[in-house]
Amino acid sequence: MAIILQNNLFGWKNVEKLPDLKRLEIIIENMPDEKLMRKLESKRKNGRDDHPVRAMWNSTLAAVVFDHERIESFRREMGRNPALLEICGFDVFKKKVIPSASAYTRFFKSLVEERQLLTEMFNELVEEAAAILPGFGKHLALDGKAISSFAVKPGSKEGDLRGDHDADWGKHAYSGVGKDGKLWEKIKKWFGYTLHLLIDSTYGLPINFTLTKASASEVKIAPVLIKSTQDIHPKLIKRAEYLTGDRGFDSSSFISELWDTYRIKPIIDIRNMWKDPDKTKMLPGYETVVYDYRGTVSCYCPATNTKREMSYGGFEKDRQALKYKCPAKAYGIECKGKDMCPVKSGIRIPLATDRRVFTPVARSTYKWKTLYKKRTAVERVNSRLDVSFGFEHHTIRGQKKMSVRVTMAFIIMLSLAVGRAKEGRSDLIRSLVRAG
C-alpha cells in the first residue's frame, strides 16, 4: 500500500469517517502497490514534488472508487473534504494542496507507461484472494463485455485526438423464441472494445481478462484466456471444476479442450444448429434410441413405439461416457416391450458421439441448469463496471488507456474484497457501496 508518513495535528482519526472514506481506507491498506510507487518515484527523481506520487496514486484510486466521471468534479470533492485529502496523503495545510487537472493527466500517462506493473498487482491480488477465500476458483464463468470508446469513429489521420485509432466496430446478435412462439432477433453494434472476462462466480471477482478490439471473436479469445490463466495461476486452474458461459462460447473444440486438457467441466449453452427444434438423431448403434440437440436421450418401446425419456445415470470418468437407464426400470413404468428391449440394461454414450451435445454434466439434468445459473455472476460484474466504476459514461480513447482503466477497476474490486475477507466480513465482498 502507498503508506503516507505525516503529522496529524488535529487527528482526523477522531472524526467519524464517512462510509466512502472507510471503503477507500480498506482499498489503500490492501493494495500491493509498493513496487509501482518506487518505480514512479524513481522516474520523478529530483523533479518537482509539489504533489507526492503516493498521494497522487491514492487520490486517483479515490476518483475511481467514488465514481467521478471527470477529474474536475473529483477536485471539487477534495476541496470540500479535508478528510479525503489526508487519507490520500496530501498536506492539508499546504496552500495549493489540490493537484491541477493537467497534473492528473500527466500522472495517468505515467500509469499507462507502467501498465505491466498494474497487471502484476492484479495477479498478486488474485493469488491473495485464492489463499483467503474458501473455494475461490472452483466455479468459473466467462463473458465478453462491449465497451464503447468515447470517440464515435476511428481517427482520420495520425495525431487526430477526436477519433480512436485502436477501436473498431463490433456486433452481437441475440435471438430466441418468444412466449407467443415467434422467433425474435436483436442486433447490438458498438464502436470500441470487447472485454473478455474470466471470473470466480461464487464471489463475483475477476481472475483474468484481456481487452481487444470490438470485432474480436469471443470463442477464439476464450481458449487463449484459459491458457493464460493456466500459465499465471496454475493452482487455480487445477482447482477449477466448472466453467459456465453463454452460447457465444459454444464450440466443439473449446468444450473438448476444457475437459480434455484442464479437466474443467463445461457448462456452456448450446446453439440449435439443427434448424428444427423438434428434430432428433438416432444414437449410433441403437435403432430405438434418439437424442435432441440439448442432449435429451429418449428410447422407443419396441412393442408400442411409445417414446420415453431415459433416466440419467451419471458420468463415468474412466469410460468418458454418460450412462442412461431404462425408464421402465428407473421409474416403475409399465412397458409392454421391456423384455425384448435392446436397452433394458441401460446404455453408455461416449462424449465423442457429439462433443457439443454430450458433456461431462449432462445438459438435460437439473444439475446442469443449476450450475448454469451461476453465469449471472459475470453479468453482475459487468454491471458493476458500468454503474459503480463509470464505464457507462467515460471519456477514454485508446486501447492502452482503456486497459489501464479496466485494470484499476479490477484491482480496486479485489483489494476491497481481500480487505473485507481479512476483517472477517466475507458477506460484504460483493458490495462496493456499504463499508461494513
Whether residue 395 contacts residue 69, with contact meaning beta carbons closer than 8 Å, is answered with: yes
Whether residue 2 contacts residue 60, with contact meaning beta carbons closer than 8 Å, is answered with: no
Q: Same domain for 104 and 231?
A: no
Q: Quick one: pLDDT at residue 155?
A: 65
Residue with cell 495520425: 158
Q: Same domain for 37 and 151?
A: no
- Residue at 188 is within a domain: yes
Rounded to the nearest integer, the mean pLDDT of the chain is: 86
The grid cell for 301 is: 418401446
Q: Quick one: pLDDT at residue 156?
A: 63
Residues ≥6 apart with Cβ < 8 Å to 389: 64, 67, 409, 412
To the nearest 10°, report the CA torsion of 206, 208, 211, 212.
-130
Beta bridge partners of 184: 176
- Residue at 433 is within a domain: no
pLDDT grade for 61, boundaries at 50, 70 and 90? very high
Q: Same domain for 176 and 233?
A: yes
Q: Same domain for 143 and 254?
A: yes
Question: How many Cα atoms within 13 Å fall on the side-chain side of residue 284?
Answer: 6
pLDDT for 8-17, tens place per residue? 433 333 323 3
Helix, strand, coil shares of the chain as percentages rounded to 5?
40, 20, 40
pLDDT grade for 133, boundaries at 50, 70 and 90? very high
Q: Same domain for 344 and 385?
A: no
Residue 141: closest CA among 220, 235, 209: 209
Whether residue 297 contacts residue 283, with contact meaning beta carbons closer than 8 Å, is answered with: yes
Question: Per the structure, how many domains does the chain have?
Answer: 3
Question: 156 — phi, psi (to 5°)?
Answer: -75, -25
- Residue at 259 is within a domain: yes
- Residue at 36 is within a domain: yes
Q: Quick one: pLDDT at residue 72?
A: 87
- Residue at 150 is within a domain: yes
pLDDT for 176-231, tens place per residue? 666 666 666 778 888 889 999 999 999 999 999 999 999 999 999 999 999 999 99
Segment 232-249 mean pLDDT: 95
Instruction: Examine the fold and report which residue of 322, 353, 384 is the final residue of a domain before the chain moves on.
Output: 353
pLDDT grade for 160, boundaries at 50, 70 and 90? low
d(CA 26, CA 87): 11
Q: Same domain for 285 and 264?
A: no
The grid cell for 391 is: 464505464
d(CA 69, CA 177): 39
- Would you say residue 435 has pLDDT above 80? no
Q: Same domain for 392 and 248?
A: yes
- Residue at 358 is within a domain: no
Beta bridge partners of 348: 323
Q: Quick one: pLDDT at residue 356?
A: 94
Q: Same domain for 387 and 255?
A: yes
Domain range spanning residue 394? 136-155+164-270+372-399
DSSP at 196: E
- Residue at 262 is within a domain: yes
To the nearest 10°, report the CA torsion of 101, 104, 109, 112.
-130
Whether residue 2 contacts residue 31, with contact meaning beta carbons closer than 8 Å, is answered with: yes
Q: Quick one: pLDDT at residue 58?
A: 93
Q: Same domain for 394 and 245?
A: yes
Q: Same domain for 191 and 243?
A: yes
Whether residue 436 contacts residue 423, with contact meaning beta carbons closer than 8 Å, is answered with: yes
Q: Same domain for 247 and 393?
A: yes
Q: Give pTM, 2 decimals.
A: 0.87
Q: Are strands 242-245 and 139-148 parallel, antiparallel or unpaired?
A: parallel
Terminal CA-CA length for the chain? 21
pLDDT grade for 434, boundaries at 50, 70 and 90? very low
Beta bridge partners of 309: 298
Q: Same domain for 149 and 235?
A: yes
